Amino acid sequence: MLTLADIGFDATAALLARHGLRLVRVPDGGAIPGSYWGECEAGLIGSDVFARADTPVHSLLHEACHLLVMPSERRASVHTDATDSQEEEDATCYLQIVLADALPGVGRDRLMADMDAWGYTFRLGSTRAWFEHDAEDARDWLEVRGLLASVGGGAAAIAA
Protein backbone atom coordinates (compact mmCIF):
# COMPACT_ATOMS: atom_id res chain seq x y z
CA MET A 1 0.00 0.00 0.00
CA LEU A 2 1.15 3.49 -0.85
CA THR A 3 2.08 5.47 2.26
CA LEU A 4 2.83 9.10 2.99
CA ALA A 5 6.51 8.17 3.11
CA ASP A 6 6.18 7.12 -0.55
CA ILE A 7 4.66 10.40 -1.75
CA GLY A 8 5.81 12.91 0.86
CA PHE A 9 3.89 15.19 3.16
CA ASP A 10 4.20 18.47 1.25
CA ALA A 11 1.79 17.82 -1.64
CA THR A 12 -0.66 16.13 0.70
CA ALA A 13 -0.55 19.00 3.20
CA ALA A 14 -1.05 21.49 0.36
CA LEU A 15 -4.05 19.55 -0.98
CA LEU A 16 -5.69 19.46 2.44
CA ALA A 17 -4.93 23.14 3.06
CA ARG A 18 -6.70 24.07 -0.20
CA HIS A 19 -9.84 22.60 1.36
CA GLY A 20 -9.50 24.17 4.79
CA LEU A 21 -7.92 21.17 6.51
CA ARG A 22 -4.58 20.81 8.22
CA LEU A 23 -2.28 17.79 8.00
CA VAL A 24 -0.56 17.17 11.32
CA ARG A 25 2.52 14.97 11.09
CA VAL A 26 2.87 12.48 13.93
CA PRO A 27 6.41 11.26 14.75
CA ASP A 28 7.28 7.76 13.57
CA GLY A 29 6.01 5.19 16.04
CA GLY A 30 3.83 7.73 17.87
CA ALA A 31 0.15 7.13 18.59
CA ILE A 32 -2.04 8.84 16.01
CA PRO A 33 -4.61 11.07 17.72
CA GLY A 34 -8.19 10.61 16.57
CA SER A 35 -7.49 7.34 14.72
CA TYR A 36 -10.62 5.19 14.49
CA TRP A 37 -8.71 2.11 13.32
CA GLY A 38 -5.51 2.60 15.36
CA GLU A 39 -2.08 1.42 14.23
CA CYS A 40 -0.87 3.56 11.33
CA GLU A 41 -4.33 4.70 10.18
CA ALA A 42 -5.06 8.42 9.91
CA GLY A 43 -6.96 10.24 12.62
CA LEU A 44 -9.13 13.31 12.74
CA ILE A 45 -9.99 15.93 15.30
CA GLY A 46 -11.83 19.03 14.17
CA SER A 47 -10.26 20.20 10.90
CA ASP A 48 -6.98 18.40 11.60
CA VAL A 49 -5.97 15.13 9.95
CA PHE A 50 -3.22 13.27 11.81
CA ALA A 51 -0.83 10.89 10.06
CA ARG A 52 2.62 9.33 10.25
CA ALA A 53 5.01 8.46 7.44
CA ASP A 54 3.64 4.89 7.45
CA THR A 55 0.01 6.02 7.17
CA PRO A 56 -1.59 4.66 3.99
CA VAL A 57 -2.59 7.38 1.53
CA HIS A 58 -6.07 5.87 1.17
CA SER A 59 -6.55 6.21 4.94
CA LEU A 60 -5.48 9.84 5.01
CA LEU A 61 -7.72 10.72 2.07
CA HIS A 62 -10.64 8.85 3.58
CA GLU A 63 -10.47 10.70 6.87
CA ALA A 64 -9.92 14.05 5.13
CA CYS A 65 -12.93 13.41 2.92
CA HIS A 66 -15.07 12.63 5.96
CA LEU A 67 -14.29 16.15 7.12
CA LEU A 68 -15.01 17.62 3.68
CA VAL A 69 -18.45 16.04 3.39
CA MET A 70 -19.71 16.93 6.85
CA PRO A 71 -21.35 20.24 7.72
CA SER A 72 -18.91 22.76 9.20
CA GLU A 73 -20.79 22.89 12.50
CA ARG A 74 -20.26 19.15 12.96
CA ARG A 75 -16.66 19.31 11.76
CA ALA A 76 -15.76 21.68 14.61
CA SER A 77 -16.60 19.02 17.21
CA VAL A 78 -15.67 15.79 15.42
CA HIS A 79 -13.19 13.50 17.14
CA THR A 80 -12.22 10.06 15.80
CA ASP A 81 -15.60 8.79 14.51
CA ALA A 82 -16.87 10.88 11.62
CA THR A 83 -19.54 8.73 10.00
CA ASP A 84 -23.05 10.12 10.24
CA SER A 85 -24.85 7.99 7.64
CA GLN A 86 -24.30 5.44 4.90
CA GLU A 87 -24.84 8.20 2.34
CA GLU A 88 -22.05 10.25 3.90
CA GLU A 89 -19.75 7.19 4.02
CA ASP A 90 -20.37 6.47 0.34
CA ALA A 91 -19.76 10.13 -0.56
CA THR A 92 -16.50 9.98 1.42
CA CYS A 93 -15.32 6.93 -0.52
CA TYR A 94 -16.21 8.53 -3.84
CA LEU A 95 -14.52 11.82 -3.00
CA GLN A 96 -11.29 10.16 -1.85
CA ILE A 97 -11.01 8.45 -5.24
CA VAL A 98 -11.51 11.77 -7.05
CA LEU A 99 -8.99 13.57 -4.80
CA ALA A 100 -6.38 10.87 -5.41
CA ASP A 101 -5.90 12.31 -8.90
CA ALA A 102 -4.67 15.55 -7.31
CA LEU A 103 -1.73 13.84 -5.58
CA PRO A 104 1.41 13.23 -7.64
CA GLY A 105 2.25 9.54 -7.76
CA VAL A 106 -1.17 8.42 -6.54
CA GLY A 107 -4.18 8.70 -8.88
CA ARG A 108 -7.50 6.94 -8.70
CA ASP A 109 -6.28 3.62 -10.14
CA ARG A 110 -3.66 3.14 -7.44
CA LEU A 111 -5.98 4.36 -4.71
CA MET A 112 -8.76 1.96 -5.72
CA ALA A 113 -6.29 -0.95 -5.73
CA ASP A 114 -5.11 0.03 -2.25
CA MET A 115 -8.70 0.34 -1.03
CA ASP A 116 -9.37 -3.21 -2.23
CA ALA A 117 -6.16 -4.50 -0.63
CA TRP A 118 -7.07 -2.86 2.69
CA GLY A 119 -10.50 -4.47 2.69
CA TYR A 120 -13.06 -1.88 1.62
CA THR A 121 -16.14 -3.83 0.54
CA PHE A 122 -18.67 -2.96 -2.11
CA ARG A 123 -21.65 -4.89 -3.51
CA LEU A 124 -20.07 -5.29 -6.94
CA GLY A 125 -16.92 -6.83 -5.49
CA SER A 126 -14.33 -4.14 -6.06
CA THR A 127 -13.83 -0.45 -5.52
CA ARG A 128 -13.47 0.14 -9.27
CA ALA A 129 -16.72 -1.70 -10.07
CA TRP A 130 -18.55 0.33 -7.42
CA PHE A 131 -17.03 3.64 -8.57
CA GLU A 132 -17.75 3.04 -12.26
CA HIS A 133 -21.13 1.26 -12.06
CA ASP A 134 -22.81 1.69 -8.67
CA ALA A 135 -21.83 5.03 -7.16
CA GLU A 136 -24.46 7.28 -8.74
CA ASP A 137 -26.03 8.01 -5.35
CA ALA A 138 -22.67 9.07 -3.88
CA ARG A 139 -21.85 11.23 -6.90
CA ASP A 140 -25.31 12.84 -6.81
CA TRP A 141 -24.99 13.47 -3.05
CA LEU A 142 -21.69 15.27 -3.65
CA GLU A 143 -22.94 17.22 -6.67
CA VAL A 144 -26.07 18.48 -4.87
CA ARG A 145 -23.82 19.90 -2.15
CA GLY A 146 -21.36 21.39 -4.65
CA LEU A 147 -18.52 19.26 -3.30
CA LEU A 148 -17.33 17.75 -6.57
CA ALA A 149 -16.97 21.13 -8.20
CA SER A 150 -15.15 22.48 -5.15
CA VAL A 151 -12.48 19.76 -5.33
CA GLY A 152 -12.09 19.90 -9.08
CA GLY A 153 -13.97 16.66 -9.62
CA GLY A 154 -16.83 17.85 -11.77
CA ALA A 155 -18.39 15.81 -14.53
CA ALA A 156 -15.39 16.07 -16.85
CA ALA A 157 -13.01 14.76 -14.21
CA ILE A 158 -15.38 11.97 -13.23
CA ALA A 159 -15.71 10.75 -16.80
CA ALA A 160 -11.93 10.47 -17.15
Q: Which residues contact 14 (CB under 8 A, 6 or more apart)?
A: none
pLDDT band per the 50, 70, 90 thresholds, residue 83: confident
- Residue 153's pLDDT is 55
Q: At what angle do helices 57-69 and 107-118 cross, to 10 degrees?
A: 100
| pLDDT for 91 beyond 60 | yes
**Mean pLDDT score across all residues of the chain:** 91
Could you report the per-residue pLDDT of 33-76, keeping only the tens digit for each? 999 988 999 999 999 999 999 999 999 999 999 999 998 889 98
| pLDDT for 141 beyond 70 | yes
Query: CA-based Rg of the chain, rounded to a whole angstrom?
Result: 14
Strands (E) in the chain, as ranges, are: 22-25, 43-45, 48-51
42 close to 63: Cβ distance less than 8 angstroms:
yes
Q: How far apart are CA 10 and CA 36, in angstroms?
A: 24
Ordered by start, the domain boundaries in the chain are: 4-75, 86-159
- Residue 158's pLDDT is 38
| pLDDT for 159 beyond 80 | no
| pLDDT for 122 beyond 90 | no
